[in-house]
Structures are given as C-alpha cells and as structure tokens.
Amino acid sequence: MARKGKAVVCRDWKKPVTIEEIQVDSPRANQVLIQLEAIGVCHSDLSVSNGTMPIPPPMVLGHEACGRIVELGEGVTEYQVGDKVIPCWIPSCGHCRFCAEGRAVLCDDWAKSFFGPKDGTRPLKDAAGNMLGAMSGVGVMAEYAILHEDNVIKIDPEVPSDKAALVGCGVMTGVGAVFNRARVKPGSSCAVIGAGGVGLNVIQGCAIAGAGIIVAVDMAEHKLELAKQFGATHTLNAGKEENLVKAVKKLTGGGADYAFECIGLGKMVEQAFRAVRKGGTALVVGVARGDDTTSLKTASITFEEKTLTGSYYGSARPREDFPRLIALYQAKKLKLDELITRTYSIDEAAQAFADLEAGRNARGVLVF
C-alpha cells in the first residue's frame, strides 16, 4: 500500500531545503520499502541542494541512512520484513567487467539506478501528486523510501541505527579509500588534506591500517583537534602554513607515502601530488565541481614515478565491506559514536544543513 511520510526535499538550488509530506508507492518487482530510522547529513546532500552537483530538482535528498524493511516487492527473496539495512547508492550488477574485477563502484549499471527508472516513473510524489526524484537513486532523507533490492545491504540488527547509517557513505568513502584503494602499509606515512566528514574517516582508516605518521591538514582548528582524536599524529593549519608541501615533507622525512585529497579542489590535488615522496601515491577522494581542473608538472610524473589515482565511494564492494566495517565498530576499532556531533529531528533538517555548511559538525544525523 502507498504510504505518507515526511521527507527533506530540494525544490531549488541555493534555497533552504523544505520538509514536506510525500507519498511513497508500494514496492514494485525487486524493490523494497524501507522505514528509515536514522539519516546522516553528508556534504553531497549540501552539494546537490546548492547546485554544486547539478542534478535537477525537485528531489528527495539523502543517501546515507539506516532503516528496516517494511514491505517487499514481488520476487524479493533475499530479504524479509524487519531486516535492518543500510542503503547503498551504488548498486552493482555482479557480472559486468568491472564487477568481475571486484570494482563494484565502477559498475556499468550504476548510472541507470542513479537517475531513476528509464520509463520516467518515480515512486515518490509530493502533496499535489507531482513526481519527485530521489537523490543518487535512493532519496532516503525521509520516513519511507523505495529502493531496488540491489541498493540495500543487510546488517546486524543489534547495531544502533544512527551509527550504522554513517557506514553508508562517509565512513565507507574515507576508510575504504585507505583499505581498498591505497592499501596503506603498516608504518607508512600519510597526509590527509581536509578533515571533514570524509577526511576524519581517512584518518581513522590510516590509523587502523597501522600508519606511523598521519598528518591532518585543514583550515579550521576545531577540525584539527578532532583529527587528533581520530588518529592524526600531526596537524597543519593550511591557513597559517606558508608552504604546505614543504611542511608535509618535513614531517614525513621527505614526502608522504600516501596523500589523500578529501576536499575536491584541483589546487589541493596539486599540493597532495607534490607532497608525496618519489614513488608515492596521491589519491583524490573529494568530489570536485565538473569544471574544476588540476595541473601537474609533467616531468615530475616521469622522473618521480608517482601515482595519482581516485577513490570513489571508498572503492567499495558494499556487500563485503559494509558488514566488515560494522564488525570493526563492534570490535571497538572503528569510531562511529565519536563522529556524531549532533542529532536532529527531521523537522530540524534545515538547521542540520546550515550547521554542515558552517562546518560545525563532524556529522549531523537526523533520527526518528
């Protein structure tokens, strides 16, 4: 049956988000209806709401969440009503060449789900009956959401939902970049540029991987303080440092083994690349605007044999990685409680977005 519930909607770029009562269809074949229990407010939600990521509104925001399945569409056999799940905004088909290589985030099917079903129908409608899009094909900043069965991952029901939600984007993106893409070796040196929601998770990923030196770089002192709690051994304030590259090189004995750019700015990618040692690896984890570019000194690419690569969504294989991250949390090795600065009701969503934009939160979480 169709349901009604509150949702956080982007109506116009650069306008505050609105809280609306929406209608959610019954699940179709291979879909599940989930009732959300907690939703993280991620920087990408802000980027969509202000047009930095130019996806046309109106749409229900949200892509980092945890909830329970309340209804199954036809043909769903893997899940049952009551299962606790984390939505995953990159579904993978399991058989394209990228899935076969274990690189699920590059799956050819990804774009299909991202922009909604091809027939143009949407399971979400506003109070006037007009169709609403769903951010990243999931749109989970709401009481109810309709997801394809490939877009949910079942987890241990004992894990608190507000903590588990964070695994669905920020934690996977940050920790995954370290484990899956960089494959940081114990004792190595790492520089992490940007200590926001994702950067903090890169930092804790480096710490869990056994890095020796972890240099956190940010312009905000309170974020650098937080970075130390997550395992940074050194901090650099980019606003005060005259020569960031030189400062990183000094702390890492000539250049970091790995540098992670977690902002999404070409200028900082250049700094990350220059801050790694000969043969080292710079990773772009931040999501840049479409018109942003990077320029590198070409000869240094040859002579220094450095690697520049990206990591998208923690280069995740979500079915394997989500339960593994939850297990790390249960073993008290992965910090999730400490990431949550504040929780909000869904009616306070606009405040949560304002706090995110002002850099007040490691993570703000909407809870029901």
- Tell me how far apart the alpha carbons of residues 73 and 27 are, in angstroms, rounded to a whole number: 5
Residue (114 or 304) nearer to Zn ion, CB: 114
Least Å from the CB of residue 100 to Zn ion: 8
Q: Are strands 31-41 and 144-148 parallel, antiparallel or unpaired?
A: antiparallel
Least Å from the CB of residue 198 to Zn ion: 8
Binding mask 22-61 for Zn ion (x = CB under 5 A): --------------------x-x-----------------
Looking at 147, 169, 224, 366, which residue binds Zn ion (CB under 5 A)? 169
- Tell me how far apart the alpha carbons of residues 353 and 166 are, in angstroms, rounded to a whole number: 16
Q: How far is CA 219 from CA 202, 216, 322, in A?
A: 17, 10, 31
Least Å from the CB of residue 54 to Zn ion: 16
Total residues at the site for Zn ion (CB under 5 A)?
Answer: 8
Instruction: Give the rounded distance of the alpha carbon of 200 from its chain centre.
Output: 12
Residue (88 or 124) nearer to Zn ion, CB: 88
Q: Are 106 and 116 in contact (CB under 8 A)?
A: no
Looking at 99, 132, 171, 247, which residue binds Zn ion (CB under 5 A)? 99
- Both tokens assigned to 61: 């925001």
Q: Which long-range contacts (CB under 8 A, 24 or more apart) does 12-18 make?
A: 12/57, 13/49, 13/50, 13/51, 13/54, 13/57, 14/49, 14/50, 14/51, 16/350, 16/353, 16/354, 17/49, 17/61, 17/349, 17/350, 17/353
Least Å from the CB of residue 286 to Zn ion: 11
Least Å from the CB of residue 108 to Zn ion: 5
Part in contact with Zn ion (CB under 5 A); list of ranges 47-55, 104-112, 121-129, 226-234: 104-112
- Both tokens assigned to 306: 């450095």
**Pick from 368, 367, 324, 318: which is nearest to 156 by CA?**
324
**Pick from 37, 160, 148: which is nearest to 88 by CA?**
148
- Tell me how far apart the alpha carbons of residues 49 and 135 are, in angstroms, rounded to a whole number: 10
Residue (228 or 360) nearer to Zn ion, CB: 360
Q: Does 93 help bind Zn ion (rule: CB under 5 A)?
A: yes
Residue (53 or 169) nearer to Zn ion, CB: 169
Which residues share a beta bridge with 38?
A: 66, 367
Residue (107 or 349) nearer to Zn ion, CB: 107
Window 185-214: residues binding Zn ion (CB under 5 A): none
Query: 20: buried, middle or exposed (CB in 10 Å: 19+, 13-18, 0-12)?
Result: middle
Residue (93 or 238) nearer to Zn ion, CB: 93
Q: Does 96 help bind Zn ion (rule: CB under 5 A)?
A: yes
Q: Are 282 and 296 in contact (CB under 8 A)?
A: no
Residue (117 or 212) nearer to Zn ion, CB: 117
Least Å from the CB of residue 262 to Zn ion: 12
Q: Does 285 help bind Zn ion (rule: CB under 5 A)?
A: no
Least Å from the CB of residue 26 to Zn ion: 27
Q: Does 159 help bind Zn ion (rule: CB under 5 A)?
A: no
Residue (304 or 355) nearer to Zn ion, CB: 355
Q: Does 86 help bind Zn ion (rule: CB under 5 A)?
A: no
Which one-letter amino acid corresponds to residue 256?
Answer: A
Binding mask 214-253 for Zn ion (x = CB under 5 A): ----------------------------------------
Q: Does 138 help bind Zn ion (rule: CB under 5 A)?
A: no
Q: CA-CA-CA-CA torsion for 295, 296, 297, 300, nearest 10 degrees?
A: -170
Looking at 8, 24, 90, 107, which residue binds Zn ion (CB under 5 A)? 107
Q: How far is CA 115 from CA 12, 56, 57, 79, 230, in A?
A: 18, 10, 12, 24, 35
Residue (162 or 257) nearer to Zn ion, CB: 162
Can you give the binding site for Zn ion, defined by CB under 5 A? Answer: 42, 44, 92-93, 96, 99, 107, 169
